[in-house]
């Protein structure tokens, strides 16, 4: 397929990368998409794959040059729960990985960057509901601290060097195609697999812990949507608030029970519940809707139906 884009996805084996890299391949041609991650994926990919750490600047530049990369989606990061276990490594990966890519753009090696932030940039001093784009952001996790610093790096490189870097603050993401990699919202993926396997699930968040969440299909739509939007429409160069769903584990379990009548959930909140407690419950994404036309497709029951339909096929065939 002809495309004037050559895309590099860094962190292509992860929860989002697994889905995004394939969607980009379908849209722009698999021969125009390169995935990189620390290790070669277990299942062979339709896109080109090169094992490389984002912290290995020289090797990364060789890949960028070899494939004439124009657009980079930088997904490699330590998420919230994993980050608390490895503060220095989380800072190193989340900040230095981003700096390498921003500097490649400054040196005209690449043209456009997508880098995701998170609702974790907000903290306990932020209002809980309908959080505005510009509400106070004083995060109390190293993940949130690194994401907030990253947002400001993106903004700085845009205004100082004209770098076209685009970002959204993902809520907790839920999908059926891939497993999450060490976040606080991982329960909302695991719960589906436990419902299929043994009809019971122990949740590490409190039953009433409401968080902003989103179906993976909508997250991918937003990601490609912001990258394809005309440059003039991108008015925020830190990172856009993005919203679709908010619910607590009890509400998700109730929705799942409509499909598995004998499904049982119990609650054993651990330290991840404290991380979640510091975050907002719902987000106002007026600017994303207004500037580049963001609109989600899935409500809670539509998402649950779609995930269960797809997992039913997967478990039947395995």
One residue of 116, 144, 212, 249 binding ligand NAD per CB under 6 A: 116
What x-and-dash track marks residues 127-166 binding ligand NAD by CB under 6 A? ----------------------------------------
Q: Which residues contact 292 (CB under 8 A, 6 or more apart)?
A: 225, 226, 229, 233, 234
Stretch that binds ligand NAD, among 7-15, 103-111, 204-212, 308-316 (CB under 6 A): 7-15
* Best CA proximity match to 12, nearest among 178, 130, 242, 214: 178
**Secondary structure of residue 96 in the 3-state scheme:** helix
152 or 198, CB closer to ligand NAD? 152
Instruction: Give how far Cα 143 sits from Cα of 17, 94, 149, 198, Å.
Output: 19, 8, 10, 33
Tokens of 194: 């436990």
User: Exactly one of 80, 146, 241, 248 binds ligand SER (CB under 6 A); which one?
Assistant: 80
Contact residue for ligand SER among 79, 191, 303, 304 (CB under 6 A): 79
In the complex with ligand SER, the residue whose CB is nearer, 143 or 292, is 143
Q: Read off the tokens for 232.
A: 């003039």
Say which entry of ligand NAD, ligand SER, none residue 61 contacts (CB below 5 to 8 A, set by partner kind).
none
Q: Please count the residues of this chain forming the interface with ligand NAD, following the rule CB under 6 A.
A: 27
In 10 A of CB 239, how many CB atoms? 27
Q: Any catalytic annotation for residue 315?
A: no
Find the binder of ligand NAD among 3, 55, 57, 61 (CB under 6 A).
55
Q: Which residue's CB is nearer to ligand NAD, number 59 or number 287?
A: 59
What span, in angstroms and rounded, lies between the C-alpha atoms of 30 and 35? 10
CB atoms within 10 A of CB 63: 18
* Shortest distance (Å) from residue 173 CB to ligand SER: 6
Q: Which residue is closest to ligand NAD by CB?
A: 14
Phi, psi of 6 (to 5 degrees): -125, 115
Residues 177-216 that bind ligand SER (CB under 6 A): 183-185
Shortest Å distance, C-beta 80 to ligand SER: 3
Is the CB of residue 11 less than 8 Å from the CB of residue 74? yes
According to DSSP, residue 297 is labeled: -
Indicate the residue among 170 and 215 with the shorter CB distance to ligand NAD.
Answer: 170
Task: Give the count of beta carbons closer than 10 Å to the beta carbon of residue 266.
Answer: 9
State the CB neighbour count (10 A cutoff) for residue 316.
7
Q: The tokens of 119 are what?
A: 């609702």
The listed partner (ligand SER, ligand NAD, none) that binds 116, CB under 5 to 8 Å by sort, is ligand NAD
Exactly one of 24, 34, 64, 75 binds ligand NAD (CB under 6 A); which one? 75
Query: Catalytic pick from 73, 78, 143, 157?
Result: 143
> Between the CA of residue 226 and those of 57, 216, 239, what are the distances in Å?
26, 15, 11
Which positions are annotated as active-site residues? 143
Q: Which residues bind ligand SER (CB under 6 A)?
A: 79-80, 118, 120, 143, 172, 183-185
């Amino acid at each position: 397929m002809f495309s004037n884009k050559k895309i590099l996805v860094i962190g292509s084996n992860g929860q989002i990368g697994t889905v995004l890299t394939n969607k980009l391949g379908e849209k722009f041609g698999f021969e125009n998409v390169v995935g990189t991650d620390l290790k070669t994926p277990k299942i062979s990919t339709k896109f080109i794959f090169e094992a490389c750490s984002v912290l290995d600047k020289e090797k990364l530049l060789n890949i960028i040059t070899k494939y004439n990369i124009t657009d980079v989606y930088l997904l490699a990061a330590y998420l919230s729960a994993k980050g608390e276990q490895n503060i220095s490594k989380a800072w190193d990966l989340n900040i230095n990985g981003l700096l390498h890519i921003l500097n490649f753009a400054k040196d005209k090696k690449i043209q456009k960057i997508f880098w995701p932030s998170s609702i974790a940039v907000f903290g306990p001093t932020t209002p809980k509901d309908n959080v505005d784009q510009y509400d106070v952001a004083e995060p109390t996790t190293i993940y949130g601290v690194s994401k907030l610093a990253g947002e400001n790096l993106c903004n700085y490189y845009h205004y100082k060097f004209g770098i076209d870097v685009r970002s959204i603050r993902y809520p907790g993401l839920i999908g059926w195609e891939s497993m999450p990699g060490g976040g606080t919202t991982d329960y909302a993926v695991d719960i589906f697999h436990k419902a299929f396997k043994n009809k019971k699930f122990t949740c590490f968040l409190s039953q009433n812990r409401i968080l902003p969440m989103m179906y993976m299909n909508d997250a991918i739509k937003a990601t490609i949507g912001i990258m394809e939007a005309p440059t003039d429409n991108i008015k925020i160069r830190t990172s856009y608030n993005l919203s679709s769903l908010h619910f607590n584990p009890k509400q998700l379990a109730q929705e799942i029970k409509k499909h598995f009548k004998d499904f049982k959930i119990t609650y054993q909140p651990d330290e991840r519940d404290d991380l979640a407690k510091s975050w907002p419950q719902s987000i106002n994404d007026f600017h994303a809707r207004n500037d580049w036309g963001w609109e989600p497709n899935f409500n809670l029951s539509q998402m649950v139906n779609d995930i269960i339909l797809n997992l039913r096929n997967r478990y039947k065939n395995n």
